[in-house]
Structure 1
């Protein structure tokens, strides 16, 4: 039986990337490879002049996170699982510290 923390299949990752891309940009291009889909999303994010925060929930494995890290020079990412691996940035649990950490990461 697969645990909640097991890495998503390639199909689930591609579907998630396609959904995020459509929601943010309206682009409906689909890819068979999660890395290609992530690179495409990154290129589209690079075209956006405004800052944005991309919250990635239920991302348990680095394999799930990697496609979302391409491009997006004005895009901060927040990984939001219950448990964070050493070396992965995560906000403090208290709301005031979380807000402060997010504003710092967005350059404010």
Structure 2
């Protein structure tokens, strides 16, 4: 039976190895709990997932392309029939609501 510095160092190394394993286990548990809590929070905030956003984005791009193609066909048909294209009204920017000025109660 060896007693001395080697046995003490061996026991210390074993203790450190066990502590590192326990720390990794705790880290995994904390990560799992954090991910579950974050997912719950995001679900309660009614946020859109990336996949859903990308799908809707693709649909919007396709609809825009179809709209442009149909507009071009209408313009070509109008030109063929000799009709003037319908004049579009220029879009006016939306009016911004004015912020109320703070009052100190001394209005006249």
Which category of TM-score, normalised to the shorter sequence, fits these structures? under 0.3
Q: Give the structure with the larger helix fraction.
A: 2
Structure 2-normalised TM-score? 0.21
Larger relative CO (CA 8 A, sep 6+): 1 or 2? 1
Structure 1-normalised TM-score? 0.21
Q: Give the structure with the larger strand fraction.
A: 1
Structure number with bigger Rg: 2
